[in-house]
Amino acid sequence: MIECCRFVDALADRGWAHAGGVPCSTFGGPIGHLTAEGRYRPAANEGLALSDAAGAWLGGRRQAVFLQNSGFGNLLNPLTSLSQPYGIPVLAFMSMRGWPDPAADEPQHAIMGSTLESLLAELGVWAAPLTDADPESVLDRAADIVDSGRPAFVLVPFRSIGAHPRTERGHSNAPSLPDTAEVAQAISRACDADWTVFATTGYASRFLHAAGDRPANFYMQGSMGHVSSLALGYATAQPERPVVVIDGDGAALMQLGAFSTIGAARPRNLLHVVIDNGGYESTGGQASSAPSTDFVAIARACGYASAWVVESITDLDYCLVRPFDGPGPRLIVVRAGPVRGEIPHRAGASLGLADVAARVRRQAVDVDVLA
């Protein structure tokens, strides 16, 4: 385990006093430390974090990027079409899930865990693991690479950096508000037999599964930000089947353009629920930029038929009585507080991910015609 202060101080000593990114629990300590000093900026997704760091470099400041390898796909485009061809060097710290042994982690991390080192090599990107024995030497070499005009990626074993006393949960919303568990339970209670429910990665999927498993529930593990588009594809393919998507503020921000696509498609059978607790709860509660974002205004501007905010389970229950009457799509933003109870296991602990998908498809397609 690498001490948090040692890591942050070593970065600052080499010129990286600022950072941005999308949180992973591995970086909870450094993000908390830098946030407390006003030197960390949360990004909606990993690619935007890299572009932000590239702009900082153009402005004369070094800004590191924190990300998890599962989000590398979001970063690939600006890495290969901005950083490398323009000769804009960036320093990225990437926590490595499914690595070095993919079988030792959850299934959604297996592909990235087993292939990312080779992919970086194919891209001509320097990469090296961070070791607790001598992290300074790795940082020295990374600094040399950046000084030569090339990007450098430091591969950080999962949860190998310690916490910090200044690390605080970033929720801006009051603890008196409903939590993710209560929202998932309310939706589960309201579900008719023909409803299909898609829940985003993180606690939303965990609590929906814990509230009552249904073959028509899709539990997202990974693919952060994509659950609303997944639900849109299903809703337009099955226009007579009611569809609920349970999103999170951080996930919705990650792929905010999905709101425009959903609004343009106008699926009358789609209800989009965003649990807005102001932070990335499953990675330690780091703050998101949701407090400065008006999801209701965005939804209405993008063509949603209706959008409103609730701050209690009573009001949410009322909205779920007849949620598919009239035109769609519809948005409900649930102001939420931090989770107060025990965190359940992921659905993938008892269900195969391919089985989750197959069950949902069987609700819509006759088993005899499945391709």
Give residue 168's pLDDT. 47
Written as six digits, the tokens of 169 are 């949960």
Q: Please, what is the average pLDDT of the chain?
A: 93
Lowest-pLDDT choice from 143-157, 215-229, 236-250, 278-292: 278-292
- The Cα–Cα gap between 303 and 260 comes to 7
Domains of the chain in sequence order = 4-157 (3.40.50.970), 180-369 (3.40.50.970)
Find out whether 302 and 263 touch, Cβ atoms under 8 Å.
yes
Find out whether 32 and 164 touch, Cβ atoms under 8 Å.
yes
Flag whether pLDDT at 366 surpasses 70.
no
| 99 residue type, one letter | W
Q: What is the pTM of this model?
A: 0.88
Residue-wise pLDDT tens digits, 205-260: 999 999 999 999 999 998 999 999 999 999 999 999 999 999 999 999 999 999 99
Say whether the peptide bond before residue 100 is cis (omega within 30 degrees of 0).
yes
Lowest-pLDDT choice from 60-69, 73-82, 247-256, 343-352: 343-352
Whose CA is closest to 46, among 61, 65, 62? 65
- The Cα–Cα gap between 306 and 39 comes to 38
Written as six digits, the tokens of 125 are 């990107």
Specify the DSSP element, H or E, that contains 95: strand 91-96
